[in-house]
């Protein structure tokens, strides 16, 4: 299979990344509904819908805003404006979704932690989306620097590069398994699973960004890395507490 992977069906070129992106949303949401049906949710259906709406709006705004901040010095032309409006990133979506949820909960007066049910559907959705990023090769700005290591792959430009999307796929599998084990082997406060997902994923993305040829830096860090630090600062209390107790059997 050649990368970028651009199959044709009935004479039409298929945008694999876009297809898998929509598939990620669909499967992730169906997985969430499955988990909610098979668990006890302390949050009412009405408030849960408000939280989902807040998450969706926050994710939309956050993903676009951080997508723009990845390259804020671009010239403003009609073509570039369209490109900027289409720019988005999962990191901004996650953190924007988090803020959107907190705002929605304040509006409806919900005090219960709400994130744990979203953890595994989010991981699954990101995993499917990252397959699309990998198959898009250099057409999607998620590839890595040139490398002479054994991990180098030709992603479509004849240059051996770090396949950072593949690295992330491996990490997401380990994260899914690790959080599942944590969920079943430890006593966690409600909402703690989501916190550890955010901490671990944002920490991973902070370091993996050093392998990517970002174009805009502040203090030697990319916009994504700065957002990662903001998120880790947001969860500083959880990071420093490290309170995980064993289940009573």
Candidates 146, 143, 175, 172; CA nearest to 159 is: 146
Beta bridge partners of 245: 187
- Of residues 236 and 66, the one with the higher pLDDT is 236
- pLDDT at position 8 over 60: yes
- The token pair at 187 is 């006593």
- The token pair at 170 is 């491996």
Candidates 97, 173, 100, 96; CA nearest to 130 is: 173
Q: Return the DSSP state at 116.
A: G
User: Whole-angstrom Cα distance, residue 129 to residue 43?
Assistant: 29
61-65: long-range contacts (C-beta < 8 A, 24 or more apart)? 61/96, 61/100, 62/92, 62/93, 62/94, 62/95, 62/96, 62/97, 62/99, 62/100, 63/88, 63/89, 63/90, 63/92, 63/93, 63/96, 64/88, 64/92, 65/92, 65/96
- pLDDT at position 171 over 90: yes
Place of tokens 């408030």: 47
Report the predicted TM-score, pTM, of the whole model to 2 decimal places.
Answer: 0.87
Q: What is the per-residue pLDDT for 127?
A: 96
Q: What is the tens place of the pLDDT at every residue in 96-144?
A: 999 998 899 889 888 777 788 899 999 999 999 999 999 988 887 788 9
Q: What is the tens place of the pLDDT at every residue in 62-72?
A: 888 887 777 66
Q: Where are the domains of the chain?
A: 14-42+112-246
Percent of the chain residues past pLDDT 70, beyond the cut: 88
The total number of residues written for the chain in this structure: 249
Q: What is the per-residue pLDDT for 80?
A: 53
Label residue 198 by pLDDT band (50, 70, 90): very high
Q: What is the per-residue pLDDT for 231?
A: 94
């Amino acid at each position: 299979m050649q990368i970028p992977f651009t199959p044709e069906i009935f004479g039409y070129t298929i945008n694999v990344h876009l297809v898998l992106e929509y598939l990620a949303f669909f499967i992730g949401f169906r997985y969430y509904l499955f988990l909610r049906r098979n668990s006890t949710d302390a949050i009412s259906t009405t408030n849960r819908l408000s939280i989902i709406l807040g998450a969706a709006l926050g994710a939309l705004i956050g993903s676009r805003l951080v997508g723009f901040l990845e390259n804020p010095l671009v010239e403003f032309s009609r073509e570039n404006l369209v490109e900027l409006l289409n720019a988005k990133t999962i990191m901004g979506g996650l953190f924007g979704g988090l803020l959107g949820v907190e705002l929605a909960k304040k509006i409806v007066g919900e005090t219960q932690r709400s994130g744990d049910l979203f953890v595994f559907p989010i991981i699954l959705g990101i995993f499917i989306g990252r397959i699309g990023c990998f198959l898009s090769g250099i057409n999607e700005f998620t590839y890595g620097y040139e490398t002479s290591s054994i991990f180098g792959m030709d992603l479509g430009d004849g240059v051996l590069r770090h396949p950072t999307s593949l690295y992330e796929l491996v990490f997401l599998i380990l994260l899914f398994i690790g959080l599942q084990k944590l969920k079943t082997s430890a006593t966690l406060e409600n909402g703690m699973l989501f916190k550890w997902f955010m901490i671990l994923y944002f920490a991973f993305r902070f370091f993996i960004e050093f392998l990517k040829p970002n174009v805009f830096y502040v203090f030697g860090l990319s916009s994504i890395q700065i957002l990662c630090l903001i998120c880790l600062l947001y969860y500083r209390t959880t990071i420093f507490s490290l309170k995980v107790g064993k289940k009573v059997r």
